[in-house]
Amino acid sequence: MRTTSNPARRRRRVAIDAVMVLVILVLVVQMWLLTASLESYLAGHHAVAVPALLSSLALFAICGFLYRLVLRIDRLQDPDDAGRSAAMPGPWRVSSDVGRPPS
């Protein structure tokens, strides 16, 4: 099995890790927003519901944008795989001789 750790693949991994951290932060903020707005609504402050909904929709759109960014980053092809067909998406390499007895 050949392990390739070229700089392009490393940069993609770093970018995907950064996007994952951002998604986690956005989801934590969205959970806090839900908790705070629900507590305010139950306390009788009904004017908080619409701004909280709009803010939550904006955070959802940010998560959707980050998801599409990860898909775009994942589709990038390695420079050393330029001649190979893109039959399998992602960083996985499966050779055709898997499961054959050695000759």
Boundaries of domain holding 60: 7-76
Q: Does the residue 81 lie in any domain?
A: no
Residue among 54, 74, 64, 76 at smallest CA distance from 26: 64
86 pLDDT exceeds 60? no
Give residue 35's pLDDT.
96
- Confirm if 49 and 41 have CB atoms less than 8 A apart: yes
Q: Does the residue 21 lie in any domain?
A: yes
Percent of the chain, pLDDT > 70? Answer: 69
Give residue 74's pLDDT.
84
Q: Does the residue 66 lie in any domain?
A: yes
Residue 10 confidence class, pLDDT cut points 50, 70, 90: confident
62 pLDDT exceeds 70? yes
Buried/exposed 39-53: b ≥16 CB within 10 Å, e otherwise: eeeeeeeeeeeeebe
Q: Does the residue 84 lie in any domain?
A: no
Q: Report how far apart, in Å, the C-alpha atoms of 50 and of each of 47, 76, 79 are.
A: 7, 40, 49
Q: Does the residue 15 lie in any domain?
A: yes
Q: Does the residue 34 lie in any domain?
A: yes
Structure tokens at 12: 């993609």
Whether the CA torsion 54, 60, 66, 68 is positive or negative: it is negative
Distance from C-alpha of 40 to C-alpha of 33, rounded to nearest angstrom = 10
Q: Does the residue 86 lie in any domain?
A: no
Structure tokens at 39: 């507590």
| Structural domains counted in the chain | 1
43 pLDDT exceeds 90? yes
Average pLDDT, the chain: 82
Q: What is the average pLDDT across 34-45?
A: 95
